Homo-oligomer: A and B are copies of this chain.
Amino acid sequence: MAKNITPRNEDYSKWYTDVIIQAKMADYSPVKGSMVIRPTGYAIWELIQQNLDKMFKETGHVNAYFPLLIPESFMEKEAEHVEGFAPECAVVTHGGGKKLEENLYIRPTSETIIWSMYKKWIMSYRDLPILINQWANVIRWEMRTRLFLRTSEFLWQEGHTAHETAEEAEEETLKMLNVYKKFAEEYLAIPVIAGKKSDSEKFAGAVHTYCIEAMMQDKKALQAGTSHNLGQNFAKAFDVQFQAKDGERKFVYATSWGVSTRLIGALIMTHSDDNGLVIPPKLAQRPVVIIPIFKNDDEKVKVMAFADSIFAELKEEYNVIMDDREKHKPGFKFAEWELQGIPIRIEIGPKDVEKNHVVMVRRDLMKKEFIGRDVIFETVKKQLAQMQVDLLEKARIFREENSFNVDNYDELKKIVTNEEGFVYAHWCGSTECEEKVKTETKATIRCIPFDREEEKGVCICCGKDSDRRVVFAKAY
């Protein structure tokens, strides 16, 4: 276990912060509630952006940029929206040395400013659909910072689409939820439960909200992405009508969907260990480190020649690090790159050169293996792919082992209170029962999952009929 990192079983919350600070992924900033994303953390965000952006473009979306500052009066146009977000906003009252005539809110999300523009751009069905995404920063006021998971300012993407029909909007909402699910599983290696939010958990201004939910290593839930069907709520608030093919004027249908730098927190909490960060290979800008080991100049010449040839070969495909710093001992370097989460470490000492092999260590397994010189490249390739698959599978098994079908309220209470995992239980659909569980156990309904078959039962709370189980858990 790495020095300066509290073990998970001692204090999970401290472990999480230690990994981030020690791996230099992020740091606290002097402004309460906000953080600095350092290069190691930002490198992961860059690959999240690149890969998600590609998936957005493949599904027909384009990027744009809307203003940071939103007039107070815009926020007030959609009743649920202002109620949900205004209390969390940072407010600009002065600009250019003067008091402003109207206060400006730093965007907590951009529906209002975007729909004020869509009103200008949408005249007829020919202007639809609009499939726009934006990469941006937003602020939702927080005093208690939790790096990556809860900060006043965070980076995210927000898609905002406009459609002719309710069906198209629903299709888009689900399509983007699936993009998120695919991305979470294939890139972040985080298995997620896709489903629908209960009414009390939906986005302020949405008709309904879909989400993906993941289990962290402390068995708590983390919402990793949301996709909202906004119906005609924002079109009505901003009077956005279009001339339909039949000549009638109709209100436009909307969706919005987003994921944020919170995904980096989810990645850490799913895969990392007491030695530090573990990065899924597809999100590692530097997937391989080579550490040459020698004690004198003779050994150095021999080892470096061998190491350089391997470096050159791998460099063709991978951003390899050659750690030939002489001021540090091998053990120090091993610990440092483990902390940084580099997926594959290659160690090369004089004896390895003689035997024409290297020692290879996969970050998730931490087991040394000898790999013959001829098959290094293909082994790196294979192991990176395998590690990506294994991380997902390990997390899936962990989640399944800690998910329980429960039909007894006391048992639900025990499991969620002790944070033993996810509880699949019957629920009648009423806000009262949902609230009761929340008050008594601090667990919320994470989602009404898509992948569970309908099943007759009775509400775990009130005993009324229910035809499906929902997921209860404590959440971040």
Q: 1/0 per position for A87-113, CB-CB distance to B under 8 A?
A: 111111111110000001010000001
A42's partner among B65, B113, B117, B137 (CB-CB below 8 A) is: B65
User: Is B90 within 8 A of A64, CB to CB?
Assistant: no
Asked if A67 is at the interface (CB within 8 A of a chain B CB), the reply is yes
How many chain A residues touch B (Cβ–Cβ < 8 Å)?
A: 53
User: Is B137 within 8 A of A66, CB to CB?
Assistant: no
A63's partner among B36, B42, B69 (CB-CB below 8 A) is: B42
Spot the interface stretch: A23-31, A197-205, A399-407: A23-31
Query: How distant is the Cα of A62 from the Cα of B44 in the complex, in angstroms?
Result: 12
Which residues of the partner chain B approach A369 to less than 8 Å between Cβ atoms? none
Q: Which 3 A-B pairs have the closest CB atoms?
A: A96-B141, A39-B62, A37-B65
Asked if A120 is at the interface (CB within 8 A of a chain B CB), the reply is yes
User: Is B67 within 8 A of A113, CB to CB?
Assistant: no
Which residues of the partner chain B approach A113 to less than 8 Å between Cβ atoms? 29-31
User: Is B64 within 8 A of A31, CB to CB?
Assistant: no
Asked if A116 is at the interface (CB within 8 A of a chain B CB), the reply is yes
A36's partner among B69, B90, B117, B155 (CB-CB below 8 A) is: B117
User: Is A66 within 8 A of B36, CB to CB?
Assistant: yes
User: Is B132 within 8 A of A39, CB to CB?
Assistant: yes
Q: Looking at the assembled complex, report how far the CB atom of A224 sits from the nearest CB atom of chain B, in whole angstroms.
A: 20
A64's partner among B34, B38, B71 (CB-CB below 8 A) is: B38
Knowing A90-B92, A91-B93, A96-B88 are in contact, say whether A31-B62 is a contact too (CB < 8 A): no
Which residues of the partner chain B approach A62 to less than 8 Å between Cβ atoms? 39, 42-43
Query: How distant is the Cα of A92 from the Cα of B141 in the complex, in angstroms?
Result: 12
Which residues of the partner chain B approach A139 to less than 8 Å between Cβ atoms? 68-69
Q: Looking at the assembled complex, report how far the CB atom of A60 sits from the nearest CB atom of chain B, in whole angstroms.
A: 12
Q: Looking at the assembled complex, report how far the CB atom of A260 sits from the nearest CB atom of chain B, in whole angstroms.
A: 12
Q: 1/0 per position for A349-373, CB-CB distance to B under 8 A?
A: 0000000000000000000000000
Q: Looking at the assembled complex, report how far the CB atom of A116 sits from the nearest CB atom of chain B, in whole angstroms.
A: 6
> Can you identify 16 A-B contacts, CB atoms within 8 angstroms?
A27-B117, A29-B66, A30-B74, A34-B69, A36-B117, A42-B62, A42-B63, A65-B155, A68-B153, A89-B95, A90-B104, A91-B95, A96-B143, A97-B141, A136-B137, A137-B137
Asked if A218 is at the interface (CB within 8 A of a chain B CB), the reply is no
Asked if A46 is at the interface (CB within 8 A of a chain B CB), the reply is yes
Q: Whose C-beta in chain B lies nearest to the C-beta of A37?
A: B65
Asked if A240 is at the interface (CB within 8 A of a chain B CB), the reply is no
Q: What is the interface of chain A mostly: helix, strand, loop, or mixed?
A: mixed
User: Is A42 within 8 A of B64, CB to CB?
Assistant: yes
User: Is A153 within 8 A of B96, CB to CB?
Assistant: no
Q: Looking at the assembled complex, report how far the CB atom of A67 sits from the nearest CB atom of chain B, in whole angstroms.
A: 4
Which residues of the partner chain B approach A42 to less than 8 Å between Cβ atoms? 62-65
Query: How distant is the Cα of A237 from the Cα of B88 in the complex, in angstroms?
Result: 33
Query: How distant is the Cα of A70 from the Cα of B30 in the complex, in angstroms?
Result: 9
Query: How distant is the Cα of A25 from the Cα of B260 in the complex, in angstroms?
Result: 26
Q: Identify which of residues 256-270 in chain A touch chain B, using a CB-to-CB cut-off of 8 Å.
A: none
Chain A interfacial positions (CB closer than 8 Å to B): 27, 29-31, 34-39, 42-43, 45-46, 62-71, 74, 87-97, 104, 106, 113, 116-117, 120-121, 132, 136-137, 139, 141-143, 152-153, 155
Knowing A34-B67, A67-B153, A117-B29 are in contact, say whether A93-B96 is a contact too (CB < 8 A): no
User: Is A153 within 8 A of B88, CB to CB?
Assistant: no
Q: Whose C-beta in chain B lies nearest to the C-beta of A39?
A: B62
- 16 new A-B contacts, CB < 8 A, other than A29-B117, A93-B93, are A27-B120, A29-B66, A29-B113, A31-B69, A31-B113, A37-B64, A39-B62, A42-B62, A45-B65, A68-B68, A69-B90, A69-B153, A87-B96, A95-B141, A95-B152, A96-B142
User: Is B137 within 8 A of A29, CB to CB?
Assistant: no
User: Is B106 within 8 A of A92, CB to CB?
Assistant: yes
Query: How distant is the Cα of A69 from the Cα of B65 in the complex, in angstroms?
Result: 20
Which residues of the partner chain B approach A74 to less than 8 Å between Cβ atoms? 30
User: Is B93 within 8 A of A94, CB to CB?
Assistant: yes
User: Is B97 within 8 A of A87, CB to CB?
Assistant: yes
Knowing A63-B46, A66-B29, A67-B36 are in contact, say whether A92-B92 is a contact too (CB < 8 A): yes
Which residues of the partner chain B approach A117 to less than 8 Å between Cβ atoms? 27, 29, 36
Query: How distant is the Cα of A134 from the Cα of B68 in the complex, in angstroms?
Result: 17
- Most chain B beta-carbon neighbours within 10 Å: one of A67, A88, A89, A136: A67
Query: How distant is the Cα of A412 from the Cα of B74 in the complex, in angstroms?
Result: 50
User: Is A64 within 8 A of B89, CB to CB?
Assistant: no
Query: How distant is the Cα of A256 from the Cα of B412 in the complex, in angstroms?
Result: 56
